Amino acid sequence: MQNISSLLKIIVCFSSFLLLKSTISAQNISENEIIMAEKMYDLHFTDAKRDSMVNQLNANLKFYQYLHGYNLPNNVPLPNWFDPVLPAMTFNTKQQPINWNIPSGVAMPADTNQLAFYSIAQLSSLLKYHLITSVQLSRFFINRLKKYGDTLHCVISLTEQIAMEQAKRADAAFAKGIFKSPLQGIPYGLKDLFSVKGTRTTYGTPPFKDQVIDEDAFVYQQLEKAGAVLIAKLSMGELAMDDIWFGGQTKNPWNLQQGSNGSSAGSASATVAGLLPFAIGTETYGSIVAPSAVCGATGLRPTFGRIARTGGMNLAWTSDRIGPICRNAEDAAMVFASIHGSDVHDRASRTMPFNYKGNIDLKNLKVAYAKNYIDTLPDNSPEKAVIKTLKDAGVKVMVFDFPSNLHTNDLLTTIWAAESAAAFDPLTRSGKDSQMVQQWQSRYPNFFRTARFIPAVEYLTVCRLRYMVMQEAFPLLSQYDIIIVPSMSEEPMALTCLTGNPCITLPAGIAAGGSAPPSITFIGGKLYSEAIIAAFAKKFQELTHYEQQHPPMFTK
């Protein structure tokens, strides 16, 4: 009956539109206005062709006005979902058991403050062997968020009631000998674009500051099943851009005079400062990579579609993805193991195995570095030091010219602009975008307005060109298990956002001069290779221990 009712509504609406179209008498769009519009779209028509167009353009205008009456909410899906898998690709589809190394000899520190920088495995051991309770651990991190949250401008809201309920359930499970996952009883934070019943989901911007969505996001549900404890909703740049939100600019814990970059600003800043053991971020174009690089976190940006986005803010349907931001690679693997998967609502999501083994043999991997991005750097650059470290460990590092002439930045930003403008079209047309904090030309209010003038034809052309880029990049990237690139290099970041390839960003040197440690990014040459890149990153961290550096202000 529900389907029949919906069909009847569609028929009535379409009939109304046809009636509306048939009653058009006055022309609202003139031939002179067509001439002016042609300049924006690199077009030129004859007078006769313009005369032929007028009636249809006016009919279109009426239909647009009809469409605007819907004011579609952000959670209405796009049925044309993106799939990064090309016909020639093949994958292992069998999930193997993962044997996590939870040590048995971890002791409580003499100074409780040191718990702030314990790894997930260490905290999990303390909980498993009853040296601390989840309630106590959650209280410890909530108190750190209260102490330092305003300093970093990284917390939008604490979720103390939810935290205590979940922590008590975790403690009850431990008392019965139940161990669901390494995340059981571990506190964490969510970027504040994920809905959780009974909490605000602000998107970091005044127009949505009081928004409450009666839904639990998929990633939150996955973490709840794993036994993790939500203690905070964390700051994000407005509508997932940059690090500025209605509470200020999220700060870099290594240098409070600098921002944390974004848009997963609070997730990176709070994790690196030891305000919580891990956090969840999202990326459309650099929003996990950039704050992880700038703050010295270990951020895993998975393959597109690896984690269902249901219950998360939609920005660009064909590019948005979710990933963990942690302090080391094995922590990221532990979190990812619990959150990856698909659901029936996010049709772009796909469940694929994550066969992580932390004892991977580096010498059996095909590793290359992006020659055109690294060879021109100074001899003492962190990137070249990373390559030397790997070679000294017996890794055969090959040379690779990363594709750099495919206009990937222009393709990606066009897709991002068109889709985000559609996702927030009601905000733009309502005029409430004037309430947003960031009003300069390069930020979302103007970004959305100008994107309204991207023609549908050009958007679809760009999507088709994206497919051609994917076809060209696949044989080049898939030769290697790991491709080493500078973290903030634009072309590798943009290309892998278009192709859907995963990457992990992590510290690559010693912090100096009041700055965070330098960073490096390891790209997975193949889709769904998170297990390989996480294990590779773990081995690198065992060789260097750069991830064990912490910002001095927050170690007390």
Q: Annotated active-site positions, please? A: 191, 263, 287
The alpha carbon dihedral of 266, 269, 272, 273 has a sign of negative
The most distant pair of C-alpha atoms in the chain lies apart, rounded to whole Å, by: 85
Distance CA 104, CA 126 (A): 8
Side-chain half-sphere of 234: how many Cα atoms within 13 Å? Answer: 33
The alpha carbon dihedral of 261, 538, 330, 304 has a sign of positive
* Residue bearing tokens 């994790």: 271
Side-chain half-sphere of 187: how many Cα atoms within 13 Å? Answer: 35
Distance CA 182, CA 170 (A): 11
> Which strands form 298-301's sheet, in the order they lie side by side?
155-158, 229-234, 187-191, 279-283, 321-326, 298-301, 503-507, 519-524, 482-485, 367-370, 397-400
Contact residues for 223 (Cβ-Cβ < 8 A; gap 6+): 183, 188, 230, 280, 338, 339
- What angle (nearest 5°) sits at the alpha carbon of residue 524, between those of residues 520 and 525? 120
Collapsing DSSP to helix, strand or coil, 529 comes out as coil
Collapsing DSSP to helix, strand or coil, 118 comes out as coil
Distance CA 8, CA 367 (A): 58
Does 6 sit behind a cis peptide bond, omega within 30 degrees of 0 on the bond before it? no
At residue 385, what are phi and psi to the nearest 5 degrees?
-65, -35
**Helices 530-544 and 329-339, interaxial angle, to 10°?**
160
